[in-house]
Chain A
Amino acid sequence: MRTLLAILVAAVVTGSLEASRQAEGPAGAPPSLRFAVIGDNGTGERPQYEVGEQMASARGRFPFEFVIMLGDNMYGRQRPADFVDKFEQPYAPLLKAGVLFYAALGNHDDPTNRFYAGFNMGGERYYTFVRKHVRFFVFDTNMMDPAQLRWIGQTLARARESWKICYFHHPLYSSGGRHGSDIELRVALEPLMLEHGVHVAFSGHEHVYERTHPQKGITYFVEGSSGKLRRGDITRTDLTAASFDEDRTFMLVGITGDELSFQTISRAGRVVDSGVIHRRPPT
């Protein structure tokens, strides 16, 4: 029964994403954007490779253009050989296909990894980039210094794209048992994100998957199980709209017009969450 339900959900969401792809045709409509999301992935162990294989397989039916990485992109040693074992090999098919990865720094990442070409950080701890009608803001939440806070406020204020998506390592909202919500960061970041119309935020750190109910209009995703997993660590709270802590996961996201569709897929290829988020009208 559970499997049947999952297949039904997957079919519906896949249909939705397919509809999004077809919807980019009409004149005047903004083109569709597709990307994948991984977090806490860089273990170099078998589960990470299996998630990589699932991502390559998913790209066959959902051709995402790039991947955002939510930090802890590398665990343990971070010598040149480790970049091969923990990044280049697990995602080799995607890298060969020209898929770009845009990383945020986590607490296990050597800060100098921002210079690694494969992470496309341009040597910066925090940065922004635009794809079609979506602007992404990447923060370094390890250390939220005043200069970064100023940059966040100014860059968010200047952004004119219709979608604003932030991602960073430490979750502002989380029902994870190990760390939970980082309230100090929330007090610093949330007012800026609300003031400047951020719609969605992604983070990792907790080795589980969770989607929150919109908090003051922003939906928060925790995707920290693309390599590491803390099985059974979620205690569902009022925050939780959906969660999964039984296996590794990654996400597929498609944005067309005012709709953001997402699927969260397990290492076994099972869709564990999916849905559509509608963009709030600008205030």
Chain B
Amino acid sequence: MRVHAVAHPPVGVPRTGVTGTRAIRFIVDRFLLLPIGAAVALMWANTAAVSYFTFAHALSFFVNQVAMAFFLALIAQEVLEAVMPGGALHNWRRWSMPLVAAAGGIAGAAAVYLAFVQLKYELVLMQAWPVACAIDIAAGYYVLKMILPRSGALPFLLVLAIATDAFGLIVVGLRPAAVGLHAGGVALFLGAVGLAALLRHWRVRAFWPYLVLCGVLSWWGLYVAGIHPALALMPIVPFLPHEPRKLDLFSDPPDDDAVHHYEHEWNGLVQVVLFLFGLVNAGVLLSGYDTGTWAVLAAALVGRPLGILAAIALALALGLHLPRRIGWRQLTVIALATSSGFTFALFFATSVVPMGPVLAQIKIGALSTVAGALLAVGTAWLLGVGSARTHRNP
């Protein structure tokens, strides 16, 4: 699989438009609007806290429960197309090892988080363990692309990260189901999925009917049922027409069917959503750090990398194979490149922990995991891996 750089303007930015400056392209291409939103939120919260929290509380439902559905739909689409026949991950041999690594990473992160919380006797933090498992796909992708731009490491990391976050989404989304689902909501949701199947059967290629009819119905159904409604579009996406694609989440696919049209229409919107997501959720008073902060950091920077490496060692012993030109030094860097939880960690945090000091300390931990990117770059330099090797030994 070849992972290529973005060769043309990102979707949502006109090819020759006034807004197509290099700076904006750079920001949009790399999903930097979210960290920019987060940085603004952090500064705002720590300088004018009352106005920030008033603003954030007013917008949080819309952003977290409604708008994030578009972001998750895009992620669902990418994954679906990659696993379709002809897609990069259709052959199970391509994703078996990253999946094993993901399972190890989840187990390692969760074990370290729960052990830390138990050791400090703050059991109120236990329920936030899914936050420790989150991987920021974009952050991992760009860190690794910088270090190992042309190797099997990138798809390996992407599958690992997607599988991990998919697991987290299932846990987070279905958590309320543990206390009982509202039957009416479930019926609405199933009706939405059935309607999407019918639209597909009737060969409807425009995405609007899927969005307006099925998406709205699905959102309302999940909301009533007690399941996280931001997941609403994910079950609808498989019914949109698709074509197999390479697993390069951050490239611009050709505009040749309804799905890609939908992606073009929504990518700009998703960028705005991610900016708002950072703005609404990342604002925390830095004095709010506490046990949960250290637990999330320890889980992401230590637990997950160790879990990934241990699981891979076990899988190798059982006969699975690594991609070509990937050895233990590269694996160590890949494992550390998954440390950043950021976007998904914030999403999981706001999904499983209600507003309050517990959420604040968990969020600070989630934001701090960006340190994992530095750790990956530093380790690559120390181990002489990839482009770091070139810089170290010109």
Q: Which A residues contact B (CB, under 8 angstroms)?
A: 75-78, 105, 107-112, 141-146, 148, 170, 178-180, 182-188
Q: How far is the CA of A186 from the CA of B288 in the complex (A)?
A: 14
Q: How far is the CA of A62 from the CA of B361 in the complex (A)?
A: 40
* Contact between chains at B124 and A111 (CB < 8 Å): yes
The residue in chain B whose Cβ has the minimal distance to the Cβ of A112 is B123
Q: How far is the CA of A185 from the CA of B16 in the complex (A)?
A: 47
Q: How far is the CA of A185 from the CA of B355 in the complex (A)?
A: 8
List the A side residues contacting B354 at CB < 8 Å: 143-146, 148
Q: What are the nearest 4 A-B pairs in CB distance?
A: A145-B354, A183-B49, A187-B53, A143-B354
List the B side residues contacting A143 at CB < 8 Å: 124, 353-356, 358-359
* Contact between chains at A142 and B288 (CB < 8 Å): no
A76: contacting residue among B121, B288, B291, B358, CB under 8 A: B121
Query: In angstroms, how far is the closest chain B Cβ from the Cβ of A173?
Result: 12
The residue in chain A whose Cβ has the minimal distance to the Cβ of B124 is A142
Q: Given that A107-B122, A111-B124 are contacting pairs, would A185 and B54 also be in contact in the complex, using a CB cutoff of 8 Å?
A: no
Seed contacts A178-B287, A179-B287; 5 additional CB < 8 Å A-B pairs: A107-B122, A110-B123, A110-B124, A111-B123, A145-B354
Q: Given that A77-B121, A107-B124, A108-B121 are contacting pairs, would A187 and B54 also be in contact in the complex, using a CB cutoff of 8 Å?
A: yes
Query: In angstroms, how far is the closest chain A Cβ from the Cβ of B296?
Result: 15
B57 interface contact, C-beta 8 A: yes
**Interface residue ranges of B349-366 to A (CB < 8 Å):** 353-360
List the B side residues contacting A112 at CB < 8 Å: 123
* Contact between chains at A141 and B356 (CB < 8 Å): yes
* Contact between chains at A183 and B50 (CB < 8 Å): yes
Chain B facing A: main interface SS: helix
B358: contacting residue among A77, A110, A142, CB under 8 A: A142
* Contact between chains at B357 and A107 (CB < 8 Å): yes
B290 interface contact, C-beta 8 A: yes
**Interface residue ranges of B109-148 to A (CB < 8 Å):** 121-124
List the B side residues contacting A142 at CB < 8 Å: 124, 356-358
* Contact between chains at B360 and A108 (CB < 8 Å): no
Q: Which B residues contact A (CB, under 8 angstroms)?
A: 49-50, 53-54, 57, 121-124, 285, 287-288, 290-291, 353-360
25 contacts between A and B (CB under 8 A): A75-B121, A77-B121, A78-B121, A78-B123, A105-B124, A107-B122, A107-B357, A107-B358, A111-B124, A142-B358, A143-B124, A143-B355, A146-B354, A148-B354, A170-B356, A179-B287, A180-B287, A182-B285, A183-B50, A184-B49, A185-B355, A186-B50, A187-B50, A187-B53, A187-B57
Chain A facing B: main interface SS: loop
Q: How far is the CA of A77 from the CA of B53 in the complex (A)?
A: 35
* Contact between chains at A183 and B122 (CB < 8 Å): no
The residue in chain A whose Cβ has the minimal distance to the Cβ of B126 is A111
List the B side residues contacting A110 at CB < 8 Å: 123-124
Q: Which of B287, B291, B353 has the most CB of A within 10 A?
A: B287
Query: In angstroms, how far is the closest chain A Cβ from the Cβ of B47?
Result: 12
* Contact between chains at A170 and B357 (CB < 8 Å): yes
Q: Given that A107-B357, A144-B354, A188-B355 are contacting pairs, would A183 and B285 also be in contact in the complex, using a CB cutoff of 8 Å?
A: yes
Q: How far is the CA of A148 from the CA of B50 in the complex (A)?
A: 21
Q: How far is the CA of A264 from the CA of B261 in the complex (A)?
A: 68
The residue in chain B whose Cβ has the minimal distance to the Cβ of A148 is B354
* Contact between chains at B356 and A144 (CB < 8 Å): yes
A179: contacting residue among B53, B54, B57, B288, CB under 8 A: B288
Q: Given that A184-B53, A184-B285, A187-B53 are contacting pairs, would A145 and B121 also be in contact in the complex, using a CB cutoff of 8 Å?
A: no
Query: In angstroms, how far is the closest chain A Cβ from the Cβ of B50?
Result: 6
List the A side residues contacting B360 at CB < 8 Å: 184
Query: In angstroms, how far is the closest chain A Cβ from the Cβ of B16?
Result: 45
List the A side residues contacting B358 at CB < 8 Å: 107, 142-143
Query: In angstroms, how far is the closest chain A Cβ from the Cβ of B283?
Result: 9
Q: Which of A76, A77, A142, A146 has the most CB of B within 10 A?
A: A142
Q: How far is the CA of A145 from the CA of B291 in the complex (A)?
A: 21
Query: In angstroms, how far is the closest chain B Cβ from the Cβ of A108?
Result: 6
List the A side residues contacting B57 at CB < 8 Å: 187-188
List the B side residues contacting A145 at CB < 8 Å: 354-355
Q: How far is the CA of A188 from the CA of B50 in the complex (A)?
A: 10
List the B side residues contacting A148 at CB < 8 Å: 354
Query: In angstroms, how far is the closest chain B Cβ from the Cβ of A192?
Result: 13
Q: How far is the CA of A215 from the CA of B172 in the complex (A)?
A: 39
Q: How far is the CA of A252 from the CA of B172 in the complex (A)?
A: 45
A184: contacting residue among B123, B290, B355, CB under 8 A: B355
Query: In angstroms, how far is the closest chain A Cβ from the Cβ of B122?
Result: 6
Q: How far is the CA of A109 from the CA of B123 in the complex (A)?
A: 7
Q: How far is the CA of A276 from the CA of B224 in the complex (A)?
A: 49
Query: In angstroms, how far is the closest chain A Cβ from the Cβ of B258?
Result: 37
Query: In angstroms, how far is the closest chain A Cβ from the Cβ of B362?
Result: 11
Q: How far is the CA of A111 from the CA of B125 in the complex (A)?
A: 10
* Contact between chains at B123 and A185 (CB < 8 Å): no
Query: In angstroms, how far is the closest chain A Cβ from the Cβ of B353?
Result: 6
Q: Which of A77, A143, A183, A184 has the most CB of B within 10 A?
A: A184
* Contact between chains at B287 and A144 (CB < 8 Å): no
* Contact between chains at B287 and A185 (CB < 8 Å): no
List the A side residues contacting B123 at CB < 8 Å: 78, 110-112
* Contact between chains at A183 and B356 (CB < 8 Å): no
List the A side residues contacting B285 at CB < 8 Å: 180, 182-184
List the A side residues contacting B353 at CB < 8 Å: 143
* Contact between chains at B121 and A185 (CB < 8 Å): no
* Contact between chains at B357 and A185 (CB < 8 Å): yes
Query: In angstroms, how far is the closest chain B Cβ from the Cβ of A93?
Result: 27
Q: How far is the CA of A108 from the CA of B291 in the complex (A)?
A: 10
Query: In angstroms, how far is the closest chain A Cβ from the Cβ of B53?
Result: 4
Q: How far is the CA of A148 from the CA of B285 in the complex (A)?
A: 23
Q: How far is the CA of A183 from the CA of B290 in the complex (A)?
A: 16
Query: In angstroms, how far is the closest chain B Cβ from the Cβ of A146?
Result: 7
Q: How far is the CA of A60 from the CA of B349 in the complex (A)?
A: 49
List the B side residues contacting A184 at CB < 8 Å: 49, 53, 285, 355-356, 360
Q: Given that A144-B355, A170-B356 are contacting pairs, would A107 and B50 also be in contact in the complex, using a CB cutoff of 8 Å?
A: no
List the A side residues contacting B291 at CB < 8 Å: 107
Q: How far is the CA of A113 from the CA of B285 in the complex (A)?
A: 29
* Contact between chains at B357 and A141 (CB < 8 Å): yes
